[in-house]
Structure 1
């Protein structure tokens, strides 16, 4: 009888010993749409599969269940950084400890970059500030909020540029950042990163003189030595030769440039300009380090008549 009592007492003592279990039973978070995502627990890793086409948050607030009697830190309901390596410590009732770390799995395809619309001029590969650039490839997100583009300089510094449009096979952005030498274009799409290795220069914005209209709308009668105030241009100060053009003979008649402005010029009629009626104005602009020069021609809404 005494022997059976001792066995019963021993059994009770074993049942009352602190639990040795320090495992995570359940770990769940909400995705960007509010749906519950349950983690897999494998080899002390909390494996979370994040849906494609959803922005990854910087922080999450997990709901966690652990073994009976165990405690976890950070506690269930605590906001933590959502990144690989974020650690949780589970302490069993008997004091044993198990550490778990978050492992992120992104359910998206790696983007592919096939080409970038770099400009090439006299051996220089470059992009010019404010120009539109096309990245061609595949597997880009169609959600513009999930696409980022960076220009990576020789020293490793990154300049993020503004993405204008996205499709699964192309990205268009506006070139921007400090003028200088770069070595790489980086695209982040669906939280996956692809790089395009290419040495290139980010050049200043390429400006060319333009006339969108001529300021005078009525016929004018002028004499040699008179001046014309031409307005209606952009970057007109870059022009280096300006004159009347005879559309019938193809003859150019340079005028004297008295003043250059962004929006136009003040021009003087030279003393040897042939008398007659002129309805066209031409101008030339010079080559730059990044582009050939050129010429442009615009007709007047009303002709200019030169008299003695």
Structure 2
């Protein structure tokens, strides 16, 4: 009988114990729900020198401030810390492309997901420039002064922009942090006209102007006459060669051009002249003084001397 009572009590005890354990288990589940946290708490990378850069986490943006004047890599390997019991994809330490718009997903323990987007802040100082010359000419140079240019032609470009927004890229022949000298071609879309100057350096773009670009400077360069032209008759033509840049002459009037032939140090005679891209031709007038030796001829275009020929060792003499 006592044995039966003991078995009954043991059965009741086991039942109560099981019920208690089930109640405790249920209570634990109610007290400790799955974590709902899906935040990025830290996002860091290293720059070119190995210095740690911590991104700023703003809402769902991961903002990286890359150091100015450092080459920006194509990829990075971020070290990322997230909320307790959350999982991030791609995971921390994996190489990712370093570009705007790349995204991460952080999944909380309760299954909720938050998406973060990578943004690269432009930490490059804002450059500035002005024109450092009174006159700008076709076939000349554009001289810009300023600061914070990236002194590499692969990262800095200069353009002229016409009134129709057409851009012409210029060749840079010298560049520093504070100045750029670029070549202007002989022919532009609008030729002599007003143009804006556009400079792209790194991630920065600046536009100034407009500036007037005038016609090219005409300089006849080296002028030569055949060495055997020592005796010249009245009415005879003399052909001088010159080395002016081909194509420049078309910007200058062809009326009123002349050659000034020196008779003495104080007296000269103006004679008609024809000029091409490579030659100048003058004709000795029929009434030109005879027996004189002439070793200096000045060539005038639009009333301005553009070149001079000198040959004092073997001048020419005018004869009948």
TM-score (norm 1): 0.73
SS state of the match for residue 210, structure 1?
coil
> Measured at CA, do residues 116 and 194 of structure 1 come closer, stay the same or move farther in structure 2, by a change above 3 Å?
farther
- Which residue does the alignment assign to 1:22? 38
- Which residue does the alignment assign to 2:10? none
| Counterparts of residues 191-210 of structure 1 (less than 5 Å) | 191-196=203-208, 198-203=209-214, 205-210=215-220
> Measured at CA, do residues 277 and 129 of structure 1 come closer, stay the same or move farther in structure 2, by a change above 3 Å?
same
| Counterparts of residues 77-226 of structure 1 (less than 5 Å) | 77-79=95-97, 82-83=99-100, 86-92=101-107, 94-117=110-133, 119=135, 127-176=136-185, 177-179=188-190, 182=194, 184-196=196-208, 198-203=209-214, 205-218=215-228, 220-226=230-236
- Alpha-carbon separation, structure 1, partners of 2:114 and 2:67: 28
Q: RMSD over aligned Cα, in angstroms? A: 3.7
- Which residue does the alignment assign to 1:274? 289
- Alpha-carbon separation, structure 1, partners of 2:314 and 2:51: 68
Q: Is the 8 A contact 2:220 2:306 kept in 1?
A: no
> 1:24-62: per-residue Cα shift (whole Å, max 9, x none)?
4654556567876553333322121222223456x5455
> 1:223-274: per-residue Cα shift (whole Å, max 9, x none)?
12333232233258667212422351231241554xx332213333221221
Q: Is the 8 A contact 1:21 1:70 kept in 2?
A: no
Comparing both structures, which one devotes a greater share of its residues to strand?
1
| Counterparts of residues 259-298 of structure 1 (less than 5 Å) | 260-275=275-290, 276-286=292-302, 293-298=304-309
| Counterparts of residues 1-16 of structure 1 (less than 5 Å) | 1=17, 2-8=19-25, 11=28
SS state of the match for residue 288, structure 2?
coil
Larger RCO (CA within 8 A; separation ≥ 6): 1
> 1:264-307: per-residue Cα shift (whole Å, max 9, x none)?
133332212212111011111128xxxxx544322126311112
- Alpha-carbon separation, structure 2, partners of 1:43 and 1:134: 46
TM-score (norm 2): 0.71
User: Any stretches of 5+ residues in structure 2 without a counterpart?
Assistant: 1-16
- Which residue does the alignment assign to 2:262? 245
> Measured at CA, do residues 95 and 202 of structure 1 come closer, stay the same or move farther in structure 2, by a change above 3 Å?
farther
Aligned residues: 287
User: Any stretches of 5+ residues in structure 1 without a counterpart?
Assistant: 120-126, 288-292
- Alpha-carbon separation, structure 1, partners of 2:268 and 2:202: 59
> Measured at CA, do residues 153 and 101 of structure 1 come closer, stay the same or move farther in structure 2, by a change above 3 Å?
farther
- Alpha-carbon separation, structure 2, partners of 1:214 and 1:34: 64
> Measured at CA, do residues 20 and 157 of structure 1 come closer, stay the same or move farther in structure 2, by a change above 3 Å?
farther
